[in-house]
Amino acid sequence: MTRSANLGFPRIGLHRELKQALEACWKGSIDTAALQATARELRKRHWQLQRDAGIDVIPSNDFSLYDHVLDTTMMLGAAPQRFANIDDKTALYFAVARGTAEAPAMEMTKWFDTNYHYIVPELHRGQQFSLGSAKAVEEYLEAKALGIETRPVIVGPVTWLSLGKTRDDGLDPISLLDAVLPVYAELLATLKATGAQWVQIDEPVLSLDLSDAQKSAMRRAYEVLAPVAPRIMLATYFGALLDTTELAASLPVSGLHVDLVRAPEQLDAILTALPGNTVLSVGVVDGRNIWRADLDRQLGLVSRAWDSVGPDRLEIAPSCSLLHAPVDLDGETDLDPELRSWLAFAKQKLLEVAALTVAMQKGRAAAKEAFDASAAATQSHRQSTRIHRPQVKERAGAALDLDRRSRFPARRDAQRARFRLPAFPTTTIGSFPQTGDVREMRAAFRHGRIDAPVYESFLEAETEKTVRIQERLGLDVLVHGEFERNDMVEYFGEQLEGFAFTRNGWVQSYGSRCVKPPVIYGDVSRPAPMTVRWSAYAASLTDRPMKGMLTGPVTILQWSFVRVDQPRADTCRQIALAIRDEVLDLEAAGIGIIQIDEPALREGLPLRRRDWDAYLRWAVDCFRATASGVADDTQIHTHMCYAEFNDIMPSIAALDADVISIETSRSDMELLQAFRNFRYPNEIGPGIWDIHSPRVPSQADMEALMRKAATAIPAEQLWVNPDCGLKTRGWPEVEASLEHLVQTARALRA
Ligand code: GLN
Ligand code: ZN
């Protein structure tokens, strides 16, 4: 009979219980046993919740104290050598994740195109692996003791190796496959001996562009593992299989999970390729977003699969693990009821999966209530004036104004004449320390303990203090400090139409860190200026140029839950036009330098190269549309961090910002080679102070970085600035570092 399945449940807990327990444990205020007790409690609660929701196939080992890729690394006994002196398992686990005084943490990067960060495996030639953790077995047994049969989840060997990085030149991580397979085999055999009927092995790399080596590793891995393992459900997600369809379907596994939310069009190809006895798990409820499913439409998709594979070879599931969705919508009582009726969090998504399964087993009438509610929501969604606003659509549908009045050389001359900045001008990226005071005052204001005039005069005082400090330090282009902002996306979302905010819509970002992305549910517009008041106030305090600070449209899109009833590009255009109006209002208020931050531009790149161009085209257009309305002598800056720019240099140049500041200090200016090779035409501020570290760099450190930069980029194009905003730093380090930074610029001028 057709079964309902889940691929993974959020671990953090409805009230971020895991976060609290982790942070208490790290501080030493609870011990490891207490942390483990909280973790066990969460697992139990989540297993029971899934069973109560009507899920037949419930995952285990999807839980993690920090990260599931790190769990796999520990399973393989692959903690780096520099931690070899730590014996205690839990201490080792957190040391590897977070670093110690002696040894830096393992690196972290984004899990495919999500905002979840995993700990990057470190690989080297001749590496030895051995079973370091049987967590998968322990958690399987833990559920079993509660009377719940589960399907353990592990990250597959090809994905684990592909996500790793190596410092050994010329070493393809995949060449370590034969070294890791015996450990996988040992673990899988143990699971089988323990009674597990099935195991879910995640190989999301199957939806990327794979090398031949990766493809043959995939074959070899499952030829070795399938005979010793429980029945394998091979899980793919985040996109279509395309050229790996045949490969995935021909592996000697018992089941294949495919993502039919991101790629519904792949169903036919999958059905054609799938051998006659393989179970097909159809991912038809979106695990990556918060929208309620249109159950009738998804039932159509499931029925097509059913027609082909029959009832006994079909599983119905979310598209991917629900790790990327918040836990439960039930607590969102502040949301407008109509808006709420359009949403589904993890728990509600499982109810959708269960309803689809019941409908397949017994007919739609057997799940009438769920289907009726879904149909009503779909109907209200289609018509709501809260979502669809004709003027906004009309404006965003028209051709965008993409070009500044003049090309860069003419603008540069006009800007030089206007601002008369010295060579190697100095500036910062925007925010200044968000101290406890600032956060407390904001909380007090939000909760009504202080009124607006009190809060505003506090912000004015902070801003003025920051302006005076920058003047005293001798910075050339000042900023107001962003004290009024909680977060660079939320601050704008709260002032734009079409955005909503949840109370508990937390999703894990990394370790104990969670984010609560805004929800873009409707057409976006800007009812009133958003930043002019603070920029104009700051500008009135000083004779030096004051830089206005905005978040760019691609970053606002990327860090939100975005509506799926229209292309992302269309939503981005609407945001771009709202930001454009803000740019023009800033300019009209006399702000001559405006920075539009796009730190998330690179991370929005699609997983497959064939989709890059289309994305980059609209992303670049949207940025250009925010900036193109200003006069030649208004200087547009942009800022990016955490990015590999080599791949997308032409697009960065196509943004045509007058100045770009980028994070470079950690990579020792290596990034600048991309700018040099490309002969990047406009001005650049390579970050010379790694603001993610509390360390105060000396003037000599900074000067060395700038001199290195000057070998890649002509000196007259260079600015001097930190890597990123300073909001997480303390004032003493900020003042000391900026003093060195200004001295660095002076030394270079001399
Ligand atoms: N202007 C923002 C700040 O300074 C930029 C932050 C970012 O790049 N992530 O905080
Ligand atoms: Zn940054």
Per-residue pLDDT averaged across 594-610, rounded? 95
- Report the C-alpha dihedral over residues 384, 390, 393, 397, rounded to 10 degrees: 140
Helix then strand then coil, in percent of the chain rounded to 5, is 50, 15, 35
Distances in Å between the Cα of 643 and the Cα atoms of 110, 556, 608, 638 are: 11, 17, 17, 14
Q: What is the pLDDT of residue 644?
A: 77
Q: What is the pLDDT of residue 667?
A: 74
> pLDDT tens for residues 43-52?
999 999 999 9
Distance 730 CA to ligand 2 centre (A): 17
pLDDT of 642 above 80 = no
Which sequence spans correspond to the domains of the chain?
3-326, 408-435+474-499+522-749
Q: What is the pLDDT of residue 552?
A: 98
pLDDT of 745 above 80 = yes
According to DSSP, the residues that pair with 637 across neighbouring strands are 595, 659
Distances in Å between the Cα of 120 and the Cα atoms of 84, 303, 545 are: 18, 40, 42
pLDDT of 267 above 90 = yes
- Report the candidate in 427, 405, 339 with the shortest Cα–Cα distance to residue 638: 427
Q: Provide the mean pLDDT of the chain.
A: 96
- Report the candidate in 499, 502, 500, 501 with the shortest Cα–Cα distance to residue 524: 499
CATH code of the region 408-435+474-499+522-749: 3.20.20.210
Which residue, judged by its Cα, is nearest atom 6 of ligand 1? 725
Ligand nearest to the CA of 549: 1
Q: Which of 257, 324, 480, 692 is catalytic?
A: 692
**How many percent of the chain have pLDDT more than 70?**
100
pLDDT of 352 above 80 = yes
pLDDT band at 377 (very low <50, low <70, confident <90, very high): very high
Residue 637 bears catalytic tag: no
Q: Is there an atom of ligand 1 within 6 Å of 429 CB?
A: yes
Q: What is the pLDDT of residue 167?
A: 85
Q: What is the pLDDT of residue 733?
A: 96
| Run of H or E including 397 | helix 390-397
Residue from 115, 478, 484, 488 to probe ligand 1 pocket by mutation (most atoms less than 8 Å from CB): 488
Ligand nearest to the CA of 488: 1
CA pair distance 322, 318, nearest whole angstrom: 7
CA pair distance 67, 107, nearest whole angstrom: 12
Q: Is there an atom of ligand 1 within 6 Å of 555 CB?
A: no
- Report the candidate in 257, 301, 246 with the shortest Cα–Cα distance to residue 283: 257
pLDDT of 615 above 80 = yes
- Report the candidate in 88, 191, 101, 174 with the shortest Cα–Cα distance to residue 139: 191
Q: DSSP for 271-338?
A: HHHS-TT-EEEEEEE-SSS-BPP-HHHHHHHHHHHHHHH-GGGEEEEESS-GGGS-S-GGG-TTS-HH
Maximum Cα interatomic distance, the chain, rounded to a whole number of Å: 82
CA pair distance 521, 637, nearest whole angstrom: 29
Distances in Å between the Cα of 613 and the Cα atoms of 601, 610, 671 are: 13, 7, 22
Distance 598 CA to ligand 1 centre (A): 9
The 10 Å Cβ neighbour count of residue 345 is 24
Q: Three-state DSSP class for 181?
A: helix
Distance 722 CA to ligand 2 centre (A): 9
pLDDT band at 646 (very low <50, low <70, confident <90, very high): confident
User: What six digits make up the tokens of 135?
Assistant: 């967590």
Q: Which residue has the tokens 């037949």?
A: 56
Ligand nearest to the CA of 531: 1
pLDDT band at 672 (very low <50, low <70, confident <90, very high): confident
> pLDDT tens for residues 440-472?
999 999 999 999 999 999 999 999 999 999 999
Q: Report the nearest atom of ligand 1 relative to the CA of 727.
A: 10
Q: Three-state DSSP class for 434?
A: coil
Is-contact 217 251, C-beta < 8 A?
Answer: no
Residue from 491, 724, 727, 728 to probe ligand 1 pocket by mutation (most atoms less than 8 Å from CB): 724
Per-residue pLDDT averaged across 661-681, rounded? 85
pLDDT of 429 above 90 = yes
N residues, the chain: 750
Q: How far is CA 527 from the centre of its chain?
A: 28
Q: Report the nearest atom of ligand 1 relative to the CA of 428.
A: 4
Per-residue pLDDT averaged across 600-606, rounded? 93
- Report the candidate in 733, 693, 731 with the shortest Cα–Cα distance to residue 435: 731
Amino acid identity, position 689: W
CA pair distance 68, 60, nearest whole angstrom: 12
Residue from 466, 555, 639, 729 to probe ligand 1 pocket by mutation (most atoms less than 8 Å from CB): 639
Ligand nearest to the CA of 641: 2
pLDDT of 104 above 90 = no
Q: Report the nearest atom of ligand 1 relative to the CA of 725.
A: 4
pLDDT of 669 above 80 = no
Q: 348: Cβ–Cβ under 8 A, 6 or more apart, which residues?
A: 292, 328, 329
Distance 488 CA to ligand 1 centre (A): 7
Ligand nearest to the CA of 724: 2
Q: Is there an atom of ligand 1 within 6 Å of 727 CB?
A: yes
Q: Do domains 3-326 and 408-435+474-499+522-749 have the same CATH topology?
A: yes
Q: 331: Cβ–Cβ under 8 A, 6 or more apart, which residues?
A: 14, 503, 504
3-326, which class in CATH? alpha beta
pLDDT of 666 above 80 = no
pLDDT of 411 above 90 = yes
Phi-psi region of 310 (alpha: psi -120 to 50; beta: other; left: phi over 0): left
Greater confidence (63 vs 169) lies with 63
Distance 590 CA to ligand 2 centre (A): 25
Residue from 534, 550, 597 to probe ligand 1 pocket by mutation (most atoms less than 8 Å from CB): 597
Give start and end residues of each alpha helix (H) in 547-696: 553-558, 568-588, 612-627, 649-654, 672-678
Q: What is the pLDDT of residue 322?
A: 98
Q: Is there an atom of ligand 1 within 6 Å of 549 CB?
A: yes
Q: What is the pLDDT of residue 159?
A: 98
Q: Is there an atom of ligand 1 within 6 Å of 599 CB?
A: yes
What letters, b where the CB count within 10 A reaches 16 and e where it falls short, cover 281-316?
bbbbbbbbbbbbbbbeebbebbebbbebbeeebbbb
Distance 643 CA to ligand 2 centre (A): 10
> pLDDT tens for residues 160-189?
999 999 988 889 999 999 999 999 999 999
Is-contact 575 618, C-beta < 8 A?
Answer: no
pLDDT band at 693 (very low <50, low <70, confident <90, very high): confident
- Report the C-alpha dihedral over residues 703, 706, 707, 709, rounded to 10 degrees: 160
Which residue, judged by its Cα, is nearest atom 9 of ligand 1? 599
Distance 558 CA to ligand 1 centre (A): 15
Which residue, judged by its Cα, is nearest atom 10 of ligand 1? 725
First to last CA, the chain: 79
Distance 640 CA to ligand 2 centre (A): 5
Q: Report the nearest atom of ligand 1 relative to the CA of 488.
A: 2
Q: How far is CA 708 from the centre of its chain?
A: 31
Q: Three-state DSSP class for 431?
A: strand
